[in-house]
Amino acid sequence: MSRLEVTLQARLPDFVLDVAWSAEGRTVVLFGPSGSGKTLTLQCLAGLTTPAAGRVVVDGLVLFDAARGICLPPQERQVGYVFQGYALFPHLTVEANVGFGLRGQPAPLAAARTAEVLGRIGLQGLERRYPHELSGGQKQRVALARALAPEPALVLLDEPLSALDAPLRRALREELLAILEGWKVPAVLVTHDLSEAYHLGEHLIVYEAGRVRQSAPRAELLARPASEAVARILGVRNVLRGVVRDAAADRIQLDWRGQLLDVAQSPALPVRPARGSAVAFFVRPEDPRLLRKDGPPPSAAHHGNILRGTVVRETDLGVTRTLYFRLDAGGAPAQGDYDLEIEIPRFVHQVLQLEQEPQWEVSIHRSSIYLLPT
């Protein structure tokens, strides 16, 4: 288990980075949209950019402390860096690229270490090839091997899978995870792909516009976004707004679009919302249930909140379908021409014969409505 403590203030001509976070775990992921300051953070950690103020500590080793005048040069930080696009030296072979960071060591030791790393990362037989002779996955492994060869205390990875097509990206995500776990080197990884962030990271830090919006273990982050802004950055669909009608110890009632929604009290809320206050909430698209017309009459006690409306359009995603559902009551829809996105498996779409009947009743269990802190 490693610990990172990071506080950074850096100013560019058109951008200001002002972040503070700490994390424990093998892999920390900086997640957020492009231009939010993730790569600049990596550059500050590596010593390639000197912040105006702040502090960086890796497992007790101080890499940077502006107040104490400490700023270790990059070559003394024991930090490996996998650049976006890999940045391999085109005129060097695979073997020479991997051994580049070992130039200060005696030649026999450097050669032995290079051979060891090539073997552990599965690059045997490629030693004499040049970068232009490699596939995208092979280039990624070479860049990672080059970063790991000097036995760094921390490895930084900037969008390590972004240059790959989707099928290869999924396959190499597993490979990258296995390498990081096998080498047991703490890593900070940058991505704007949530599935990649969740799969690779133990601790996720959400960036936006040069600020940290939330820092949490991955399970907590997805279950309890800290705000409406974080939910939207995470790509949460059905982020909605209502007004509190009543708030008890174990449940809350919301007025939303002419409907009264019963909501389970959320442990993510530090303070119970007051009556009459506006709140944001979300419903995951896979949680609403379409009620069969040939089934028993729906009851709120069994099904939860029951809404009536129309499927105004849908999107075929192959194995699933996204339905755009508009309530029959409540005036103008919440999101353009619809109120809720509902995602169902393709076979359910076929069984319910949705193409023949757009009018439906939908149930949403009270525990499937997630209130967001204000």
* Domains in the chain: boundaries: 3-232, 237-282, 289-366
- CATH class (in words) of the domain with range 3-232: alpha beta
User: What's the pLDDT band for 95 if we cut at 50, 70, 90?
Assistant: very high
Are the beta carbons of 172 and 13 closer than 8 angstroms?
A: no
Contact 191, 29 (CB under 8 A): yes
How would you classify residue 206: left for phi > 0, otherwise alpha for psi between -120 and 50, otherwise beta?
beta
Backbone angles phi, psi at 136, to 5 degrees: -60, -40
Other CB atoms within 10 Å distance of the CB of residue 59: 12
Q: What is the pTM of this model?
A: 0.86
Q: What is the pLDDT of residues 153-189, one digit of tens each?
A: 899 999 887 766 666 677 778 888 888 888 888 899 9
What mean pLDDT value characterizes the chain? 88
Mean pLDDT of 349-363: 87
Backbone angles phi, psi at 247, to 5 degrees: -140, 115
- Tokens describing residue 172: 């190499």
Architecture field, domain 289-366: Beta Barrel (2.40)
Pick the more confident residue, 219 or 130. Answer: 130
- Provide the pLDDT for residue 230: 94
pLDDT at 6: 96
